């Protein structure tokens, strides 16, 4: 502890009015302190210059989340934990909930505030790219009244913003109009938890008739303050997503950012990886199945049990479903598949068995473990067997029995698009596997089926 | 020198304290120096290691980042409050059995983060445990046995509850 | 007593002896202690890497009468920290050789006044040119240490490498580098010291080796041993970082205590601890290897260099262990290792878990994969063909006399990790994914105990006694800092004495109470000290049988009754044993030949890594560690050691970078020195094979350092497997990977569905 607490004054008026009066009466004298996750670090390091501090902690007028028809207002005093826990934010602004979950650790999220994050103005601030992508406006208050500024114009230099000495950041307003927009968020940090972004990108785009109608790219750690990638946005807005337009957007992003070398990374790394993220987002926009958001958004906020029931038909291992529930909120289709893979990677033999048991034998219909949804999907997947010759079906039945005798579980193969004959041939081949290899192969097939079903689920 | 400083009222592990200290004094230092509760440790002083984790009004915080004025009137739980009448908390028992503590310096913070998790989510998945402990650095264990300990404590809680239910019937 | 005999307590998961205190938050670390009238101390350090101190000004606006100030001139004895050579001053005297070198000390009753006082001390320097790398030091253009910058060198030779090159089917060369690593124990260095003219110096503190500190204080204060007392307090992690450094901070606090006549507490904060205390030695290893057409090793020529920093500290012994581990667990008829430790103007490098072995093993185990690639052989098969077996000789011509099961360890690792199936699966999935997965394998040994004749020089003494109130105490200076010393030694004592674990306690690690059982380092506690406690127990039982009527079989009550009879007749019930080297041990310090270590622990590790080609970052997704460590004394503690060592090894490979700028650590905060968190550590699967070692405590060999040796090369081998790209340096950061990966697998043309 290098700072001396006796060298600093800290007052807590307890009300917004009290704080504003203090700021108005002695402009420039008082430094607001909210959750302290920045200023207290400086204090401990003996680098806290501010001698007079006024506490914003515990002021109810700064800590609110209000849904106002076509927008939402978030008080600057909301902690990131508040943001994570709020159902309307998870539903309408999933990227914000996700970014909130990336900040430091649970203990930091319960202290760090949205307002503090923005006013501190770190180029690497976790919430900033998302607010840029969502066209946030900030509301600024003083005894003189309030004013609104687009968040994209809030920062004006390294750790500089438009706040006057008597002003306080009061709230952040987000328009609720992005349900049909594709959204993307990725933070490249030094590690998974307690990480500061080396590069982060939030993206949002509306695609209509194959054209990019509207796009926002909010970036961190590539300039003196969080910034939109205006040129990259311009380069692709109104165009189709094609290899050429993606290349052009990459080039525009690389040209407009001004990253630096510091103790966490290098300018070159930041430049290249930012371009890669832009490309990843844009490539994802081209994916079919634009309609994933409503199902996901609803699922993200559903009760755990209901959400579990909804996703279990995609893969019948309960521990897998638990992991998926734990991974919520999931921002988009791509993230869903990534999360599903991660969860499946963590499964063990018992879970595989549980998932396998939810599939009917190839050539049969229904199992005791299957739900209506599972059965319907199995029927679609195995549609070819309906048309298969009796002889092939009989062989399948016979070989299925051999397989189960040998390995102790049902033959799993991704049946979509395969004829009964093909599935029989694969079954023959796999009978030659040892049990360990076969288990892996079956688990791999289960993974393929899982992805197919996740796509179907989102398409519902 | 306590003149001029406001009185801060705190409830720590159920006991009320009234102290006069500089309002920018860190909650961590108040606990350790003014209240003699040295179970809460300082590892980094920058909110990075979690050794100073305590619960303030049910929220997990790093006490090195809280100026004590901001804890005015708060109810605080520290590691010293986990065991009740000498009976180890289920998490403490599990850490002992599973090898969740080695050098012990991160242990108080780890226990507070884990107890915060279990208070909100009595049966967490491994992924939820990893996230909940993501802000608590341990250099000895590689975390594996800490995860085992939290899972074991959650299971023990479940058993205890089931037994209670059986008795109730 | 047979080491493989059935045991009651040894081998079982006895809970950690001091565990309850730690869990209740009542374990007393040094910063939790107060002494009556205590002051607080702070160190004023050099802001430059090398230069002369021209003047020290004390700003007149401070009232310096309130402070105690100590400079080199106040040292009553020798101004050096006693270790191997006497080159490191306790306080700089006119000249500094690295940033953060201690220059003067201040103390005040109020610790919050110290920083302002420090800011009011102005030191004027005449800077001198400095060297910051092995290359600059070995060029010897600028001499910054001794006559030639060379702290130590070794030459190890077996056969004749020069004859082997011509006949070889392949000759493969490679250069490998490792960076510094910070211990990052969560409890920083700290001590409390008291001084009085009558009783001398007493120090309480966080440390591994109370007798090292004891010896240093004797020299600094010019006091006889009975007037220096050192007491270890509960220690919150060490990993080698509290082997030599506590001698420095203890001397400082004691000097301040002498000056102000009060107890003085010195606790480093994280920034100071990171910037000013020791780290793992950076290294550069060059391999030149000849193999025949079947992959058999014909010759290994190894050139190994370490950066020792500004003073010699433990660099010579670290270099020794690096030298002895550099050829890996392989048979080779011709080996030459030329090694050297070079001085630079950085904070001295010191002991860190593995002690040179992780550096050497990183090089050889990465190099084995490079050899395999060069000759088109499976790296697993290449290793298997060259493994040491019973009766083979190592590079020092030590004959492997204990049963060797490297093949078994390898088979187990392959089976548990499902190695080949996974590899095949990744080979199928990688081409279509931006995430490339791969597996890497490493095989290695770690020598247990001090090198060569080291244990003979240490001449450790340890024992047990029985107090009049019926408690058995283990008398050792071996310390607990998380690894489990308290638990395993009380297990061994209880086992050997036939009593309950609850009957046995550790005597306080206080130099006034316990004998010198040697330092708690080098994976020696379970094997060497454990054996002494086992022998002392057996000896005590024999004594009680001979002279106090203890029967052949007995209950614990009968045991304590016999102790009572013995005490009545003969006085104190105590049994001490001194180290006896295993028979037929031979070591030549000059030629570096013979029994380098009394025993070796063996391991095979497998890492599964995922490389993200969008961000050029690697993550370890799964890890398997199979090892033979002799008898496992406590499975929970042993498993915890392996997991912790693997996690630290993962940090060493992919996360932990000590960023030096002009010899100063630029990232000396936990937010910028990145260790793996709970969310970064993969599942770690641990498997033990047990072959009791007849000269270890109930069959134990060393264990604590072993797991840190393997992860770094396993991970980089896995990255090679995943991407086809070889990397030769750690820490391997995404920024380093980008250049090569962007060429090897360029971001594909934007894919449009």
Integer angstrom CA distances of residue A344 from A98, A296, C60, C580, C684: 21, 19, 69, 55, 18
Integer angstrom CA distances of residue C645 from B150, C181, C306, C704: 21, 13, 22, 7
What contacts 24+ positions apart, CB below 8 Å, involve C732-735?
A: C732/C618, C732/C653, C732/C654, C733/C654, C733/C657, C734/A188, C734/A198, C734/A265, C734/A269, C734/A273, C734/C615, C734/C616, C734/C617, C734/C618, C735/A265, C735/A266, C735/A268, C735/A269, C735/C616
Mean pLDDT over the full length of chain A: 91
* Phi and psi, residue C82, nearest 5°: -65, 120
CA distance A216 to A206: 9
Tell me whether residues B61 and A107 touch, CB distance under 8 A.
yes
- Residue pair C199/C212 in contact (Cβ under 8 Å)? The answer is no
In this prediction, residue A295 carries a pLDDT of 80
What is the 8-class DSSP label of residue C525?
I
CA distance C381 to C94: 58
Contacts of B21 (CB under 8 A, 6+ apart): A5, B2, B5, B8, B30, B34, B68
By DSSP bridging, strand C170-178 and strand C729-730 are: parallel
CA distance C248 to C254: 10
Interface of C with B in 126-185 (CB under 8 A): 183-185
CA distance C314 to C350: 6
CA distance A222 to A132: 14
Distance from CA of C685 to the nearest CA of B (A): 10
Nearest to C492 by CA among C448, C536, C453: C536
Two tokens at A244? Answer: 């050429």
CA distance C547 to C291: 64
In this prediction, residue A418 carries a pLDDT of 82
Q: Which of C421, C674, C752 comes nearest A440 by C-beta?
A: C421
Q: Which of B99, B106, B137 comes nearest C640 by C-beta?
A: B99
Distance from CA of B96 to the nearest CA of A (A): 24
CA distance A206 to A214: 5
Mean pLDDT over the full length of chain B: 94
- Nearest residue of chain B to residue A342 (CA atoms): B127
Q: Which residues of A touch C734 (CB under 8 A)?
A: 188, 198, 265, 269, 273
Using CB atoms within 10 Å of the CB of residue C292, give its burial: 0 to 12 exposed, 13 to 18 middle, 19+ buried.
middle
- Other C-beta atoms closer than 10 Å to the C-beta of C5 total 11
CA atoms within 13 Å, Cβ hemisphere of A361: 18
Nearest to C195 by CA among C37, C419, C412, C415: C37
Question: pLDDT tens digits for chain A (460 residues)?
Answer: 999 999 999 999 999 999 999 999 999 999 999 999 999 999 999 999 999 999 999 999 999 999 999 999 999 999 999 999 999 999 999 999 999 999 999 999 999 999 999 999 999 999 999 999 999 999 999 999 999 999 999 999 999 999 999 999 999 999 999 999 999 999 999 999 999 999 999 999 999 888 999 999 999 999 999 999 999 999 999 999 888 999 999 999 999 999 999 999 999 999 999 999 999 999 888 753 343 557 887 787 777 788 888 899 999 999 999 888 887 778 777 778 888 988 898 888 889 999 998 888 887 765 556 677 777 777 777 777 776 778 888 888 888 888 988 888 889 988 887 888 888 888 888 988 888 888 888 988 999 899 889 988 887 7
CA distance C518 to C527: 12
Q: Please report all neighbours of C, defined by 3+ CB atom pairs within 8 A.
A: A, B
CA distance C441 to C439: 7
- Block mean pLDDT (10 aa), chain C, length 753: 72 98 98 98 98 97 97 98 93 98 98 96 98 98 98 97 96 98 98 97 98 98 98 98 98 98 98 98 98 98 98 97 98 98 98 98 98 98 98 96 95 98 94 93 97 92 97 98 98 98 98 98 97 98 97 96 97 97 86 94 98 96 98 98 98 98 97 97 98 96 97 98 97 95 66 44
Distance from CA of C629 to the nearest CA of B (A): 18
- Other C-beta atoms closer than 10 Å to the C-beta of C1 total 12
- Other C-beta atoms closer than 10 Å to the C-beta of C617 total 23
CA distance B89 to B82: 6
Please, what's the b/e burial string for A221-255 (b: 16 or more CB within 10 A of its CB; e: otherwise)? bbbbbbbbbebbbebbbebebeeebbbbbbebbbe
What is the 8-class DSSP label of residue C392?
-
Residue with tokens 């005490």: C567
Two tokens at C649? Answer: 């090894």
What is the 8-class DSSP label of residue C527?
I
CA distance B137 to B106: 7
Tell me whether residues A110 and B60 touch, CB distance under 8 A.
yes
DSSP string, A249-304: HHHHHHHH------SS--HHHHHHHHHHHHHHHHHHHTSS-TTHHHHHHHHHHS-H
Strand positions, DSSP E, A143-258:
145-150, 155-157, 160-161, 168-175, 182-189, 197-208, 211-220, 227-228
Tell me whether residues B142 and C643 touch, CB distance under 8 A.
yes
Residues in chain B: 169
Q: Which residues of B touch A351 (CB under 8 A)?
A: none
CA distance C291 to C332: 10
CB contact B79 to C (< 8 Å): yes
By DSSP bridging, strand C39-45 and strand C264-267 are: parallel
Tell me whether residues B47 and A108 touch, CB distance under 8 A.
yes
By DSSP bridging, strand B53-56 and strand B59-62 are: antiparallel
- Residue pair B138/C643 in contact (Cβ under 8 Å)? The answer is no
Tell me whether residues C186 and B138 touch, CB distance under 8 A.
yes
- Residue pair C497/C560 in contact (Cβ under 8 Å)? The answer is no
Is there a cis peptide before residue C179, judged by omega within 30 degrees of 0?
no
Q: With a cut of 70, say whether residue B169 has pLDDT above it.
A: no
What global pTM score does this model have?
Answer: 0.88
In this prediction, residue A368 carries a pLDDT of 55
Contacts of A203 (CB under 8 A, 6+ apart): A133, A182, A183, A184, A185, A215, A216, A217, A218, A278, A281
Nearest to C281 by CA among C362, C206, C227, C186: C362
| Percent helix, strand and coil across chain B, each to the nearest 5 | 45, 15, 40
Q: What are the pLDDT digits (tens) for B40-68? A: 999 999 999 999 999 999 999 999 999 99
**Helix A318-326 crosses helix A349-356 at what angle (to 10 degrees)?**
110
- Residue pair C260/C42 in contact (Cβ under 8 Å)? The answer is no
Q: Which residues of A touch B135 (CB under 8 A)?
A: 104-108, 193-194
By DSSP bridging, strand A211-220 and strand A227-228 are: antiparallel
Distance from CA of A125 to the nearest CA of C (A): 15
Name the region of B57 (left: φ>0; alpha: ψ -120 to 50; beta: rest).
left
CA distance C161 to C306: 23
CA distance C281 to A119: 42
Residue with tokens 């070819």: A384
In this prediction, residue A370 carries a pLDDT of 63
Q: Which of A8, A44, A192 comes nearest B46 by C-beta?
A: A44
Interface of C with B in 409-438 (CB under 8 A): none
Using CB atoms within 10 Å of the CB of residue A10, give its burial: 0 to 12 exposed, 13 to 18 middle, 19+ buried.
buried
Two tokens at A123? Answer: 């180029």
Strand positions, DSSP E, C544-614:
573-578, 587-588, 593-594, 599-612
CA distance C546 to C421: 62
Chain centre distance of CA C56: 37
Mutate to test the interface with C, among A108, A283, A334 (most CBs of C within 10 A): A283
CA distance C486 to C501: 11
In this prediction, residue C355 carries a pLDDT of 98
Q: Which residues of C touch A190 (CB under 8 A)?
A: 655, 674
Alpha helices in C393-471 (DSSP H): 406-416, 419-429, 454-458
CB contact A436 to C (< 8 Å): yes
CA distance C743 to C725: 10
In this prediction, residue A436 carries a pLDDT of 85
Mutate to test the interface with B, among A39, A50, A107 (most CBs of B within 10 A): A107
Integer angstrom CA distances of residue C288 from A427, C301, C337, C485, C593: 50, 5, 11, 41, 21
Two tokens at A270? Answer: 């930041």
Q: Which of B42, B48, B130 comes nearest C679 by C-beta?
A: B130
Contacts of B143 (CB under 8 A, 6+ apart): B130, B133, C643, C647, C678, C681
Torsion of CA C670, C675, C678, C680, to 10 degrees: 130
* Phi and psi, residue C138, nearest 5°: -75, -15
Nearest to B17 by CA among B85, B83, B72, B84: B72
């Amino acid at each position: 502890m290098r700072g001396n607490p006796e060298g600093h004054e800290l007052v807590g008026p307890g009300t917004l009015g009290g704080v504003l009066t203090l700021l108005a009466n002695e402009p420039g004298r008082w430094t607001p302190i909210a959750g302290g996750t920045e200023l207290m670090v400086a204090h401990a390091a003996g680098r806290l210059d501010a001698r007079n501090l006024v506490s914003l902690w515990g002021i109810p007028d700064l800590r609110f989340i209000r849904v106002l028809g076509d927008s939402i207002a978030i008080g600057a005093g909301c902690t990131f934990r508040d943001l994570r826990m709020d159902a309307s934010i998870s539903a309408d602004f999933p990227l914000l909930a996700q970014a909130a979950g990336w900040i430091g650790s649970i203990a930091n999220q319960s202290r760090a505030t949205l307002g503090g994050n923005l006013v501190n103005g770190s180029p690497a601030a976790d919430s900033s790219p998302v607010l840029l992508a969502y066209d946030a406006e900030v509301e600024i208050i003083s005894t003189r009244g309030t004013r609104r500024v687009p968040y994209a114009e809030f920062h004006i230099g390294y750790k500089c913003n438009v706040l006057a000495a008597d002003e306080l950041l009061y709230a952040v307003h987000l328009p609720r109009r992005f349900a049909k927009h594709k959204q993307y968020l990725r933070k490249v940090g030094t590690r998974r938890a307690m990480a500061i972004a080396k590069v982060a990108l939030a993206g949002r785009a509306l695609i209509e008739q194959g054209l990019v109608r509207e796009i926002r790219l909010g970036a961190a750690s590539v300039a003196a303050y969080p910034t939109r990638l205006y040129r990259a946005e311009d380069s692709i807005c109104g165009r189709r997503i094609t290899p050429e337009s993606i290349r052009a957007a990459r080039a525009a992003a690389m040209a407009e950012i001004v990253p630096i070398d510091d103790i966490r990374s290098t300018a070159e790394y930041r430049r290249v990886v930012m371009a890669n993220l832009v490309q990843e987002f844009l490539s994802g926009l081209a994916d079919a199945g634009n309609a994933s958001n409503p199902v996901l958004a609803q699922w993200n906020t559903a009760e755990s049990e209901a959400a579990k029931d909804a996703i279990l038909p995609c893969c019948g291992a309960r521990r897998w479903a638990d992991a998926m529930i734990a991974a919520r909120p999931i921002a988009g289709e791509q993230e869903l598949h990534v999360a599903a893979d991660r969860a499946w990677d963590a499964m063990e033999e018992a879970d595989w068995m549980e998932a396998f048991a939810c599939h009917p034998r190839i050539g049969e219909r229904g199992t005791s473990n299957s739900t209506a949804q599972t059965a319907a999907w199995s029927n679609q997947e195995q549609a070819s067997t309906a048309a298969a010759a009796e002889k092939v079906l009989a062989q399948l039945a016979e070989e299925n029995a051999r397989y189960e005798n040998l390995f102790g579980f049902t033959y799993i193969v991704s049946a979509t698009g395969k004829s009964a004959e093909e599935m029989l041939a694969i079954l023959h081949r796999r009978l030659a596997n040892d049990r360990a290899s076969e288990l892996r192969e079956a688990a791999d097939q289960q993974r393929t089926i899982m992805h197919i079903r996740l796509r179907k689920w989102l398409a519902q | 020198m306590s003149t001029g400083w406001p009185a801060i009222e705190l409830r720590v592990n159920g006991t009320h304290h009234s102290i006069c200290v500089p309002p920018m004094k860190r909650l961590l230092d108040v606990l350790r120096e003014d209240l003699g509760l040295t179970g809460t440790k300082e590892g980094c002083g920058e909110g990075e290691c979690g050794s100073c984790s305590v619960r303030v009004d049910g929220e997990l915080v790093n006490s090195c980042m809280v100026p004590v004025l901001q804890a005015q009137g708060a109810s605080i739980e520290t590691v010293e409050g986990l065991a009740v009448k000498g009976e180890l908390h289920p998490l403490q028992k599990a850490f002992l059995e599973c090898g969740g503590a080695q050098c012990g310096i991160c242990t108080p913070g780890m226990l507070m983060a884990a107890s915060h998790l279990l208070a909100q989510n009595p049966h967490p998945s491994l992924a939820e445990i990893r996230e909940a402990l993501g802000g608590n650095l341990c250099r000895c264990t590689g975390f594996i046995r800490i995860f085992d300990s939290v899972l074991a404590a959650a299971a023990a809680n479940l058993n205890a509850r089931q037994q209670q239910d059986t008795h109730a019937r | 007593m047979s080491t493989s005999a059935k045991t009651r307590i040894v081998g079982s998961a006895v809970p950690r002896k001091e565990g309850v205190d730690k869990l209740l938050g009542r374990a007393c670390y040094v910063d939790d202690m107060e002494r009556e009238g205590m002051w607080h101390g702070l160190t004023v350090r050099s802001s430059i890497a090398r230069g002369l101190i021209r003047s020290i000004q004390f700003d007149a606006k401070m009232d310096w009468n309130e402070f105690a100030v100590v400079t080199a001139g106040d040292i009553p004895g020798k101004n050096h920290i006693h270790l191997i050579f006497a080159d490191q001053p306790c306080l700089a005297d006119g000249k500094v050789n690295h940033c953060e070198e201690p220059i003067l000390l201040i103390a005040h009753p109020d610790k919050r006044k110290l920083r302002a006082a420090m800011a009011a001390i102005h030191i004027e320097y005449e800077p001198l040119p400095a060297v910051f790398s092995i290359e600059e030091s070995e060029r010897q253009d600028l001499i910054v240490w001794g006559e030639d910058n060379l702290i130590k060198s070794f030459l190890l030779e077996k056969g004749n490498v020069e004859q082997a090159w011509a006949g070889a089917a392949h000759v493969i060369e490679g250069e490998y580098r490792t960076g510094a690593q910070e211990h990052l124990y969560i409890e920083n260095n700290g001590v409390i010291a008291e001084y009085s003219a009558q009783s001398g110096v007493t120090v309480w503190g966080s440390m591994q080796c109370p007798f090292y500190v004891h010896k240093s204080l004797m020299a600094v204060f010019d006091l006889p041993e009975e007037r220096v007392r050192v007491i270890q307090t509960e220690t919150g992690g060490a990993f080698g970082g509290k082997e030599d450094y506590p001698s420095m901070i203890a001397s400082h606090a004691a000097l301040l205590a002498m000056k102000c006549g009060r107890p003085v507490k010195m606790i480093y904060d994280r920034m100071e601890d990171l910037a000013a205390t020791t780290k793992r030695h950076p290294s550069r290893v060059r391999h030149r290897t000849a193999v025949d057409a079947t992959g058999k090793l014909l010759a290994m020529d190894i050139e190994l260099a370490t950066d020792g920093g500004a003073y010699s500290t433990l660099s010579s012994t670290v270099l020794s262990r690096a030298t002895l581990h550099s050829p890996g667990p392989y048979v080779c008829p011709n080996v030459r290792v030329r090694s050297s430790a070079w001085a630079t103007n950085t904070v001295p490098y010191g002991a860190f878990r593995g002690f040179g072995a992780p550096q050497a093993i990183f090089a050889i185990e990465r190099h084995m994969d490079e050899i395999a690639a060069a000759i088109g052989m499976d790296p697993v098969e290449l290793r298997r063909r060259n493994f040491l077996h019973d009766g083979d000789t190592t590079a020092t011509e030590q004959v492997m006399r204990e049963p060797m099961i490297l093949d078994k360890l390898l088979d187990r690792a392959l089976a548990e990790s499902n190695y080949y199936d996974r590899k095949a699966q990744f080979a199928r999935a990688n081409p279509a994914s931006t995430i490339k997965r791969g597996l890497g394998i490493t095989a290695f040994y770690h020598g247990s105990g001090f090198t060569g004749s080291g244990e003979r020089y240490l001449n450790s003494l340890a024992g047990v006694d029985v107090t009049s109130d019926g408690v058995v105490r283990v008398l050792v200076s071996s310390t607990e800092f998380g690894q489990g010393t308290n638990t395993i030694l009380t297990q061994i004592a209880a086992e050997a004495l036939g009593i309950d674990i609850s009957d046995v306690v550790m005597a306080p690690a206080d130099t006034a109470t316990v004998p010198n059982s040697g330092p708690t380092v080098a994976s020696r506690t379970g094997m060497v000290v454990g054996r002494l406690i086992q022998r002392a127990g057996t000896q005590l039982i024999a004594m009680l049988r001979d002279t106090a009527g203890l029967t052949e079989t007995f209950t614990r009550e009968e045991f304590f009754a016999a102790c009572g009879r013995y005490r009545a007749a003969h006085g104190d019930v105590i049994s001490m044993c001194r180290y006896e080297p295993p028979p037929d041990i031979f070591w030549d310090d000059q030629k570096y030949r013979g029994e380098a270590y009394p025993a070796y622990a063996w391991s095979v590790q497998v890492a599964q890594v995922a490389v993200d080609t969008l961000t050029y970052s690697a993550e370890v997704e799964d890890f398997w560690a199979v090892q033979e460590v002799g008898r496992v004394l406590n499975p929970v503690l042993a498993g915890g050691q392996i997991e912790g060592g693997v996690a630290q090894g993962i940090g060493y490979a992919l996360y932990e970078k000590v960023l030096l700028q002009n010899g100063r650590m630029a990232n000396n905060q936990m937010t910028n020195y990145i260790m793996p968190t709970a969310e970064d550590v993969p599942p770690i699967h641990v498997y033990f094979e047990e072959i009791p070692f007849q000269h270890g405590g109930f069959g134990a060999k060393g264990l604590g350092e072993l797991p840190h040796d393997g992860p770094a090369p396993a991970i980089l081998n896995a990255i090679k497997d995943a991407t086809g790209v070889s990397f030769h340096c750690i820490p391997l950061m995404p920024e380093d990977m980008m250049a090569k990966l962007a060429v090897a697998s360029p971001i594909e043309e934007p894919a449009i569905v």
